[in-house]
A = this chain, B = another copy of it.
Amino acid sequence: MTQPQQKNFESVRMGVDYYPEHWDETLWEEDASLMQKSGVAIVRVGEFAWSRMEPKDGEFDFGWLDRAIDLFGRYGIDVVIGTPTHTPPRWLTTKCPDVLPVMSDGRIFQPGVRGHRCFNSRSLRRYGERLIGKLAERYANHPAVVGWQTDNEFSMLDSQSPQAAEDFRDWVYRKYGTLENLNREWGTVVWSGEYSDWSEVTPPLGGSPYENPSFLLDFARFQWDSVAEFQAWQIAAIRKHCPNHFITHNFHSYPQRLDLYKVGDELDFASFDYYPNTSPGKSGTAPYSGALSLDVTRGIKRKNFWIMEQLSGSPGAWMPMWRMPQPGYIRAYAWQAIARGADTVVHFRWRSANIGAEQFWHGLIDHSNVPGRRLAEFAEMSSEAQRLAPLLAGTTPSASVAILMSHEQLEALRIQKQTENFDYYENIKEYHRTLTKLGIDCDVIDWRQPLDGYRVILAPHLYLLDDEAAERLCRFAADGGTLLLTARSGVKNMNNVCVMRPLPGLLADCAGVTVREYDPLGSDIVRLDTEDGEQFASSQWADILDPNEGGHAEVLARYGGYVFFAGEAAVTRNPFGRGEVYYLGTHPEEDYMRSLLLRIAQERSLPYAEGLPAGVQISVRSGESGSYLFLLNLGREARKFRISGAYTEALQSEGLLSGRRYGNEIELSPYEVEIFRF
């Protein structure tokens, strides 16, 4: 079964993360055998093991890795190898201190934990290429090895090392060419910040968050390019020897300041490390922010993805331990991942570590090595996944709605926080949660992607804008799409400079409205009065809108209450070409968003489901083999409910997991999962 074929990574399978070097070799075979019995089809190894692969400069030892990979091969388990650049060994950081990042306060990011590697370090590249080259060469034709993971969980470090500083200066020079351009585009004249010599261009020394916002945004972009380049040389080193292996990276913890799309560009597919919060106090939001994370990951490459690390027990290391997952939790969240486009799901980790700082980041098996409840649940899940894999093969979620996500907006709005509780990603979370509660499948994609095929686009807070992006959005609406814009759109050009035109700037035409003035509400609440006489609460921001003269924008909601702009337009809809553009001048509470998005769903014939209780989610994978409806109770409570909308018929079929048929009234026990074919 595991003869490697060309980049085969699209089947639904279960795996585990395993660190052979952490365990006495006498345990390995027993572990592999139990893995096999538990349905493990994939193992990830190698990540972090530089000091074992190359104990001293140029002295390589792959014997242990050979034996481990051979062993997995014998048990029919495929292997993914992680490149160990996340953890340069001590001999390397001693010999080449330029490997270490320099933090914004000038202190060195010391070894001792992990992630102590400056993406711009030339030594790291030299030593890293050598090691990865040897690894790739060695395992290129190993029958058990199917692919690679680069580094681990990239994130931005704001390194100010001399090399990072020099690279940044070059980056700026390549972008702007002359100091005149640079000073003009960044507006450095403010506070006498003008550069009179290229040598004065440095990273943000001291790390003040109040430096020039144009400069800070470019420093972020430079880092995105640095990480991408850091990964690119790794990918080149692997591809040279292993053209048939896939290459992925395990993204984590959204939102990342890092631009996922830039880093994802050269990957075969994206992976995600998925640790939904087990706290009862988070049970109202965790299933939804998890759903968003999965949709974001799917959007990186706009196709199915892997989970490279999936919750297997209570995490605890960088924080005190979380609650232990309840029975059913591990399985339900693995199914959620698959429902939203994960193919292979790799659980972190096989057994809880007995050594090191992540001892209490629990694996499927406890330190005692006595297999227990969690491994049994994993094995049940594996068996189900194995049974359904042929059906799910080639299926993928497909949505008619997309939310546009932009790391440039995220970063620019982080640099200049608009109001106290205004948060770009939290707002995206709210929109996405509202859609999820309505059972509306949704893509989350890079705002630079083509919009063909979508009926509805939510484009929140396009704060930075250029002609190209504005035109694409307007064309989408003109061509028949429904476009939803919000406050803080079109405020700036791409260099983080405010534009001298009425808001929403380049989008004012298609929105059909102009912002007369605004009030940064912060945490204060204003009333929203709809055309139907309903009242809602709203906060964060209030654009006071004037429908453009001679246009056709209709006002859907106005401000109410005691504000000076009571009676003014807050939410509008503008017919535009063959489509329409909604403009939300404020951030309404979820109930309002729900009614607005339901209206749009109905008008635009999107599949939706009314009646989903809290924590219960629906999503669909489709392909040549048919369509599969996943019904997941991701909550701690049993639920009894009726659904109206698109899926009534599908829910009448026999459940693929239980073989049960559900009536009109569906009952789900806590963490129960069902799958229907339709």
Contact = CB atoms under 8 A, between A and B. Distances in A.
A354 B522 CA distance: 22
Q: How many copies does the complex hold?
A: 3
A90 B194 contact: yes
Interface string A275-305: 0000111000000000000000000000000
Contacts of A473: none
A322 B323 CA distance: 39
A109 B358 CA distance: 32
Interface residues of A, number: 104
Nearest to A105: B107
A370 B204 CA distance: 34
Interface in A567-583: none
Nearest to A199: B94
A604 interface: no
Given A194-B89, A357-B212, A326 B368 contact: no
A416 B359 contact: yes
A190 B355 contact: yes
A367 B206 contact: no
B517 A366 contact: yes
Interface stretch (A236-244, A311-319, A381-389, A403-411): A311-319
B367 A189 contact: no
Interface in A190-225: 190-197, 199-200, 204-206, 208, 210-214
A48 interface: yes
Interface stretch (A137-145, A166-174, A448-456, A498-506): A498-506
Given A113-B211, A187-B354, A502-B370, A192 B420 contact: no
A400 interface: no
A550 interface: no
A88 interface: yes
A419 interface: yes
B367 A112 contact: no
B368 A500 contact: yes
Interface string A37-52: 0000000000011111
Contacts of A208: 110, 112-113
A670 to B, nearest CB: 9
Interface string A338-364: 000000000000001111111110000
Contacts of A518: 324
A58 interface: no
A521 B323 contact: yes
A524 interface: yes
A324 B355 contact: no
A497 B22 CA distance: 12
A600 interface: no
Contacts of A502: 368, 370
A418 interface: yes
A22 B94 CA distance: 48
A106 interface: yes
Contact of A355 (B280, B373, B498): B498
A321 interface: yes
A73 B357 CA distance: 58
A317 B498 CA distance: 14
A175 interface: no
Nearest to A185: B355
Given A187-B354, A500-B367, A192 B48 contact: yes
B359 A189 contact: no
Given A199-B94, A497-B355, A498-B367, A112 B206 contact: yes
Contacts of A210: 113, 317-318, 357
B90 A195 contact: yes
B359 A213 contact: yes
A214 B491 CA distance: 52
Contacts of A186: 355
Interface string A514-534: 001111111010000000000
B321 A419 contact: yes
Interface in A104-122: 105-114
Contacts of A320: 417-420, 422, 520, 522
A519 B374 CA distance: 13
Contact of A197 (B94, B110, B357): B94
Interface centre among A21, A279, A520 (most CB of B within 10 A): A520
A106 B316 CA distance: 28
A369 interface: yes
Interface centre among A191, A416, A519 (most CB of B within 10 A): A191
17 contacts: A48-B191, A51-B188, A55-B194, A87-B192, A90-B193, A94-B200, A112-B205, A112-B211, A211-B357, A279-B522, A279-B524, A321-B419, A321-B522, A354-B499, A355-B497, A367-B500, A369-B500
Interface of A: 19, 21-22, 48-52, 55-56, 84, 87-91, 94, 105-114, 186-197, 199-200, 204-206, 208, 210-214, 279-281, 314, 316-318, 320-324, 326-327, 352-360, 366-370, 372-374, 416-420, 422, 491, 497-503, 516-522, 524, 564
Given A187-B354, A321-B419, A354-B499, 11 more contacts: A48-B192, A49-B189, A55-B194, A55-B196, A87-B191, A90-B195, A94-B200, A190-B358, A281-B524, A320-B522, A374-B517
Nearest 4 A/B pairs, CB to CB: A187-B355, A190-B356, A321-B520, A51-B192
